[in-house]
Amino acid sequence: MKKGRKIMLFAAVVAVVALVSSLTTLAVTNYGSSDDPLVTLSYLNETVTPSIQNKLNELLDERLDELARELGESGGFPSGGGQAAGFTVVTLNAGETVVCGVGTEIMLRIGSASSAGPEVPRLIDETGGQSVFDAGVPLTVNHMYMVTIKENGVKATSDYTKILIRGEYTIQ
């Protein structure tokens, strides 16, 4: 009789182990499937996405407020000009002139332009290491020019002329 009990106990243990391993296998294989996802699409659409969008909108509003304050303190940009801390792309049409402050840097990227202004030297070609004395001298594409006398600058000689500019300028 003792032997029969031991066999029954062994069979019960084997049955419990088999049942537990079967349930574990079933749970692992169905965990996070398309029928039973770990995170539901409705949770993402209704909770997570709006939360992220709200936070992003708050951050953008804060940054826009900061920029508006900065522009308000500096008096804003004059019409058709500005004070570019980094380089700014400016597009000009033929005949438009960019009048600059001292130290403004200009690089012709697309189109054609020439030196302009009332004082000599009109520009300094930083790339070529030369002064541009005469008005109307064509600028070389991808050369960096610096204005050393106020009211000097460049004049576009073709439509859709693009320049990079850093410093004080006004378009006329």
Q: Reply yes or no on whether the pLDDT at 169 is more than 80.
A: yes
Helices (H), the chain: 2-30, 41-43, 49-74
* Structural domains of the chain sorted by starting position, each given as residue range(s) with its CATH number in brackets: 2-72 (no CATH), 81-171 (2.60.120.10)
The whole-model pTM stands at 0.51
- pLDDT level of residue 95 (50, 70, 90 thresholds): very high
Model pLDDT for residues 27-70, shown as the tens digit of each residue: 666 655 566 666 777 888 888 888 888 888 888 778 777 777 76
Q: Reply yes or no on whether the pLDDT at 108 is more than 70.
A: yes
